[in-house]
Amino acid sequence: MAEENVKKFHLEGECELRFEVESENEVTLVLKSGMAGVFGTELVKGIRYVFTTGSKIAVFTWQGCVIELRGKMDICYIAKDTPMVMYLNVHEALELLRRKAELANGRGPVTMIVGQLDVGKSTLCRLLLNYAVRMSRRPIFVDLDVGQGQISIPGTIGALLVQRPAAVEEGFSQQAPQLVYHFGHESPSTNLALYNMLVSRLAEVISKRMQANRRANASGVIINTCGWVKGDGYKQLTHVAQAFEVDIILVLDQERLYHELVHDMPTSVKVVFLQKNRGVSSSVFSV
Ligand SMILES: Nc1ncnc2c1ncn2[C@@H]1O[C@H](COP(=O)(O)OP(=O)(O)OP(=O)(O)O)[C@@H](O)[C@H]1O
Ligand SMILES: [Mg+2]
């Protein structure tokens, strides 16, 4: 049942306000007081943020805040259970590795995020990149999801040197990508050999560019993958890990995938299991 009109929400610390914009409608969000962010991007008090049809948003606050929402929503509620502290710990661990890399003039952490469809992979990438760039890092975002990438159009893979936090409404799509490869299909399975070849090529070019940019090199890479994790999908993930010489694999939600990777990856690769945020749901908008 749709809800309309203006509503004010008083959020306590470490809570999130989740809402979904109803079909053919938009919702306006204003931060009235306190501090809050959307997937790691800070909201500015008093600014109107407009979300369009199908948007599924979570406004998280560490300290507490007041939010005003205007418009028709399919769903809207405050949740207290979020794995945000866990995600922040991951960011802290990556930051430690970046600091070490900086001192040694070496390569920062190359992190790959894996999991089934709709477990929050793209959202976690955005969060970690936003946290990194807010600490004055310049991480490279690699999006290998040819179905729903955040960097360019469907059917492509690409990379972006992140220089500022994602826009609240549009994410990273406003920042010009540095590298995009055309694959031509929305699933790697359509032509796995070509997909793997493009991944290897992208990894090579990024590695060279990192060697030429000390700050980006120390900041490391965050790699988003698609939700194809079984059979050839799993092999494709191991290919990505090898091509990018990843240091860390964050596995969202699926213990079986976690154990498979722990078993198959060399010991130098740290595989970490993370809970999914329970607010994450199918990103395909159903009318
Ligand atoms: N905490 C949250 N509360 C509500 N919605 C959320 C939350 N986190 C993410 N979402 C929404 O859930 C949807 C799915 O998340 P996301 O796209 O990150 O998953 P994914 O694993 O990358 O999916 P896919 O496998 O399709 O690429 C998105 O629309 C996102 O905006
Ligand atoms: Mg995704």
**Residue 24 pLDDT greater than 90, yes or no:** no
Domain ranges of the chain: 6-79, 84-274
Q: How far is the CA of 152 from the centre of ligand 2 (A)?
A: 13
**Contact indicator for 16, 9 with CB cutoff of 8 Å:** no
Q: How far is the CA of 222 from the centre of ligand 1 (A)?
A: 17
Among 118, 125, 222, the mutation site with the greatest number of ligand 1 atoms within 8 A of its Cβ is: 118
C-alpha–C-alpha distance, residues 182 and 174, integer Å: 19
How sure is the predictor about 178, in pLDDT bands with cuts at 50, 70 and 90?
Answer: confident
Q: Tell me: the pLDDT tens digits for 215-264? A: 999 999 999 999 999 999 999 999 999 999 999 999 999 999 999 999 99
Residue nearest to atom 1 of ligand 1 (CA): 279
Among 11, 123, 286, the mutation site with the greatest number of ligand 1 atoms within 8 A of its Cβ is: 123
Q: Tell me: the pLDDT tens digits for 202-218? A: 999 999 999 999 999 99
Q: Among the CATH numbers 3.40.50.2300, 2.60.120.1030, 2.102.10.10, 3.30.43.10, which is that of 6-79?
A: 2.60.120.1030
Tell whether domain 84-274 is in CATH 3.40.50.1700: no
Between 54 and 99, name the one with better pLDDT: 99
Q: How many CB atoms lie under 10 A from the CB of residue 282?
A: 9
DSSP bridge pairs for 112: 223, 249
Q: Any alpha helices (H) in the chain, and if so which ranges?
A: 84-104, 121-134, 192-211, 214-219, 232-243, 255-264
Q: How far is the CA of 213 from the centre of ligand 1 (A)?
A: 32
Residue nearest to atom 3 of ligand 1 (CA): 279
**Contact indicator for 55, 33 with CB cutoff of 8 Å:** no
